Amino acid sequence: MSKLTKLSLTAFCVLFSTQVLTLETEAREEPNQEIAVVREQSTQILWMNEQKRLDADIGMEVMNRLTVANDRIVNVFGDDGAFVAQTDDNTGQVFIKSTPENLQKPLSLTIITENGSTQDLTLNPRQTKAATIILKSPYKNKATAEDALLPGNLSTQASLQEQEIQVLRKAVLGELPRAGGKYVAPKRKSHFLKIKHQMRLQAGNLWVDVFELKNISREPQVLLEKTFYQTGDRAIALSGQSLAPGEQGLLYALVEY
């Protein structure tokens, strides 16, 4: 069994279904390196799953932005008279607001994208500012990701550890396809965290199990890769190094099948 590779991929931090604050920023060349200026609106980043209805919060009496990364929304379906929708044909984004009669009622929507993805959503109105909901697909660049990560296509000069880092990096960036077939969702436990399996990704003869972490304690929790290691893991990566009370993050576990 290979030794656990300790990784810190905070430069590729991804948030799963968490409430964060979008900032009006001055972007540098790297998209993850931004200078915060003003707190403006609530942003939620969700991984698409056609077999599951996703929940998100929206602001009441305001237009909320809904977009799909690397894709365009072409249709939005929902109850007549429950919401108002405006579509930006240039970007494929949709702006949604509840009607006055439905301000406090959840909206049940289904979106269809230009690339053929379908996602069911439940949008819960809150007394907040306008929300931005960004949907990401685990099938982004599926063919490219599958080809690039077959054992014969990884750099022959790269060490085993470097190859594992490449696979985890692509998992964090959403460039790996979901694993096919049926499997029993693995379980992990932690005293201060709620850990829930979200999906399994595939790269050649490797799997990456993705877990949602939520701090259920009243104190900030420092996260260390080694504390999540269990038998069968080849490498571990975290979306961040700490979680505030109630905050969520992601754990990526690289395993071989």
Q: Comparing 25-29, 60-64, 195-199, which segment has the lowest mean pLDDT?
A: 25-29
In degrees, rounded to 5, the angle at the alpha carbon of residue 200 between the alpha carbons of residues 197 and 202 is: 160
- Which residue has 């069994």 as its token pair? 1
User: What pTM, to 2 d.p., does this model score?
Assistant: 0.44
Domain ranges in the chain are 5-14+140-256, 49-136
**Paired tokens of 120:** 């069911």
What pLDDT is stored for residue 175 in this prediction? 83
What pLDDT is stored for residue 159 in this prediction? 67
What digits encode the pLDDT tens for the residues 88-128? 888 889 999 999 998 889 999 999 988 888 899 999 998 88
Residues 221 and 196: their CA atoms lie apart, in Å, by 17
- Which residue has 């993805």 as its token pair? 117
What digits encode the pLDDT tens for the residues 144-166? 434 444 444 444 445 677 778 88
What pLDDT is stored for residue 25 in this prediction? 31
Question: pLDDT band at 11, cuts 50/70/90?
Answer: very low
What pLDDT is stored for residue 27 in this prediction? 32
User: Would you say residue 22 has pLDDT above 50?
Assistant: no
Residues 41 and 174: their CA atoms lie apart, in Å, by 24
Q: Which has the higher per-residue pLDDT, 211 or 35?
A: 211
Torsion of CA 89, 95, 100, 106, to 10 degrees: 120
CATH class of 49-136: mainly beta
Other CB atoms within 10 Å distance of the CB of residue 187 = 10
What digits encode the pLDDT tens for the residues 181-216? 777 777 888 889 999 998 899 887 788 999 999 999
Bridge partners for 213 per DSSP: 195, 249
Contacts of range 151-159, beta carbons closer than 8 Å, 24 or more positions apart: 151/204, 151/205, 154/204
